[in-house]
Amino acid sequence: MSNQKDKLVKSITSRDDDFAQWYTDVCRKAELMDYTDAKGFIIYRPYGYAIWENIQSYLDKEFKRTGHENVYMPLVIPESLFLKEAEHVAGFAPETAIVTIGGKEILQERLIIRPTSEVLFCDHYSKIVSSYRDLPKKYNQWCSVVRWEKTTRPFLRGSEFLWQEGHTIHATEKEAKEEVLGMLDIYNHCGKDLLAIPFVMGQKTDKEKFAGAEETYSIEALMHDGKALQSGTTHYFGTGFAKHFNINFQDKDGVLKPVYQTSWGLSTRLIGAIIMVHGDDSGLVLPPRVAPIQVAIIPIQSQKEGVIEASEAVKVQLETLNYRVKLDISDKSPGWKFSEYEMKGVPIRIEIGPRDLETGECVIVKRVNGEKIKAKIADLSTLVPRVFDEIHEEMYQKALENVTVNTREAKTYEEFKEIINSKPGYVKMMWCGHSECEVKIKEDTTATSRCIPFVQEHITENCPVCGRKAEKMVYFAKAY
């Protein structure tokens, strides 16, 4: 039994030996994904896809609750349409995949596979909006997009990934800006309530913002290795796209005006965040609310009378509460099963053996810290929900502590470089507002500005890089 377990556990690299290899090992061994012969295009296997479905389900409810409607736009963008907004094109053209042949014939106009769908939404909005009565339009779509990437990593950077992209238009700047911050807030809550991930929220610097946006906001998460991961972004476009695409409306005062526009997106990258924030040397650790399997029931000495029956009864009991439960009655050893569900990050396993039956008890084992709880089977319906809330909170606090401990401040540029090169995590530093200082920082250290956090502090008067008067405090970090 312990040999089997050793074998499975040893089959993944230790986090501290080689974090990148550990990550890939978890992706494969937990059966989240598989590679294909088309570079950068991965298969989302059932266990990985189910995590995405749970994220979708949470967000889709939130989007609909806040008045958004789902649509589906075409997979392809005619090249002439794609080329309409120069700044946007400059950002995406280098990484497009292009269809040049259809139905055995060379196409008269090449078709770009959507890297993002701003221009499709703009074109559609320009056709269906004419009056203030038509506003706002708050659309979202769930789809995949394609961006040709040289270096790819499962979930983090791929030639194709799954995401949602919201695209909204509004009659006023105020309403559009509220949308941009409102959706960021929903993303942030998704981290706190569903994924047990604390995000830092803030605005991107001009250098890091989305191609074509006036303002970009992001949620940033800190991975176990101390690198940051941009986990979702929202964009305020002002009237830039509207003017290029003629999205105008007649306002109440009779005047024709361009609309104010936003977009916001969140992708399967979040699966990467979950892995790297919570995982450990035994594999994945999933927060209970997003876990495809929330409870694994493992019968011990299942050949003994009553063990299987009792296990099945527990399954029914928990499924009645709408939990996702897996009862494993396969002929593998209990130890093997323990390792398997540990690798898959199942939040709790329940062990039921013949001796437990005598006392009407079972053992709950928490994946996050291995803690064992002896429990009356009759109490599970009240106990399990409590244990799940407890696990969620523990995971969130652990992740938050990683952020807190690994957020440092720098008063001088020397100090900044010393910290960023020797310690994991964020460095808070004042910044003058000029891109050239960000460029220098990146050249010197590979670190980038993550965001200008909403919660500001005043560390120094001047920008430590150039000495000019500081405008804002910025979070810097090495990032994925």
Asked if residues 231 and 307 have their Cβ atoms less than 8 Å apart, the reply is no
Give the contact letters, 378-407, x = binds to a second copy (CB under 8 A), - = no.
------------------------------
Instruction: Answer yes or no whether residue 128 interacts with a second copy by CB under 8 A.
Output: yes
User: What residues between 23 and 42 interact with a second copy by CB under 8 A?
Assistant: 34, 36-38, 41-42
Instruction: Answer yes or no whether residue 101 interacts with a second copy by CB under 8 A.
Output: yes
Residue carrying structure tokens 């105020």: 174
Cβ of 352: how many Cβ atoms within 10 Å?
27
CB of 159 to a second copy, least distance (A): 8
Instruction: Answer yes or no whether residue 10 interacts with a second copy by CB under 8 A.
Output: no
Figure out which of the listed residues 54, 116, 126, 159 binds a second copy, where binding follows CB under 8 A. Answer: 159
Instruction: Answer yes or no whether residue 102 interacts with a second copy by CB under 8 A.
Output: yes
Instruction: Answer yes or no whether residue 127 interacts with a second copy by CB under 8 A.
Output: yes
Instruction: Answer yes or no whether residue 254 interacts with a second copy by CB under 8 A.
Output: no
Report angle CA 25, 29, 33 to the nearest 5 degrees.
90
Instruction: Answer yes or no whether residue 454 interacts with a second copy by CB under 8 A.
Output: no
Residue carrying structure tokens 């409607």: 69
The one-letter amino acid at 188: N
Rounded-to-integer distance, Cα 415 and Cα 355, Å = 60
User: What residues between 70 and 89 interact with a second copy by CB under 8 A?
Assistant: 70-78, 80-81
Figure out which of the listed residues 44, 396, 413, 431 binds a second copy, where binding follows CB under 8 A. Answer: 44
- How are beta strands 256-258 and 137-146 bridged, if at all? unpaired
Tell me the site size for a second copy, rule CB under 8 A.
58
CB of 395 to a second copy, least distance (A): 26
CB of 106 to a second copy, least distance (A): 9
CB of 363 to a second copy, least distance (A): 27
Query: 3-state DSSP call for residue 184?
Result: helix
Rounded-to-integer distance, Cα 395 and Cα 401, Å = 10
CB of 14 to a second copy, least distance (A): 26
Residue carrying structure tokens 């377990």: 5
Of the ranges 104-112, 222-230, 258-266, 450-458, which one interacts with a second copy (CB under 8 A)? 104-112
* DSSP 8-state secondary structure symbol assigned to residue 247: -
Instruction: Answer yes or no whether residue 411 interacts with a second copy by CB under 8 A.
Output: no
Read off φ and ψ for residue 7, nearest 5 degrees.
Answer: -60, -45
Of the ranges 99-107, 226-234, 298-306, 351-359, which one interacts with a second copy (CB under 8 A)? 99-107
Rounded-to-integer distance, Cα 23 and Cα 365, Å = 24
Rounded-to-integer distance, Cα 473 and Cα 475, Å = 7
Figure out which of the listed residues 25, 85, 160, 342 binds a second copy, where binding follows CB under 8 A. Answer: 160
Longest dimension (CA), the chain: 82
Of the ranges 7-15, 145-153, 359-367, 377-385, which one interacts with a second copy (CB under 8 A)? 145-153
Asked if residues 55 and 175 have their Cβ atoms less than 8 Å apart, the reply is no
CB of 196 to a second copy, least distance (A): 24
Rounded-to-integer distance, Cα 114 and Cα 392, Å = 37
Reference 216, options 227, 229, 202, 230; nearest CA is 202
Rounded-to-integer distance, Cα 292 and Cα 31, Å = 12
Contacting positions for a second copy (CB under 8 A): 34, 36-38, 41-46, 49-50, 52-53, 69-78, 80-81, 93-104, 110-111, 113, 120, 123-124, 127-128, 133, 139, 143-144, 146, 148-150, 159-160, 162, 330
